[in-house]
Amino acid sequence: MIEFDAETWHALHGLSRDSMKSLHDLADEAFRDLLRKHGHPATLKEALRESARRLPANDADRNRKKR
């Protein structure tokens, strides 16, 4: 559970009402933005894509034919 001071709570509640999004949706968006800002994947799909990029696409040792 996250606790906010009254001023922040009222601002978030107003934003939620104005944007027609739930507080949960606003929190999801904020945390995704924070993760991306710091270079971390925000979704499983992004994490898998990033991990695949770390693997060499063409491993020369495996593709080399033995003579």
Q: What is the C-alpha to C-alpha distance for residues 24 and 4, in angstroms, rounded to an integer?
A: 14
Residue 38 is predicted with a pLDDT of 95
Residue 2 is predicted with a pLDDT of 85
29: DSSP letter:
H
Q: What is the C-alpha to C-alpha distance for residues 36 and 4, in angstroms, rounded to an integer?
A: 23
Residue 34 is predicted with a pLDDT of 96
For residues 4 and 14, the answer to whether their CB atoms sit within 8 Å is no
Q: What is the pLDDT along the chain (67 residues), one digit of tens a residue?
A: 889 999 999 999 999 999 999 999 999 999 999 999 999 999 999 998 888 877 776 556 655 565 5
Q: What is the C-alpha to C-alpha distance for residues 55 and 10, in angstroms, rounded to an integer?
A: 47
Residue labelled with tokens 């739930």: 22
Residue 66 is predicted with a pLDDT of 58
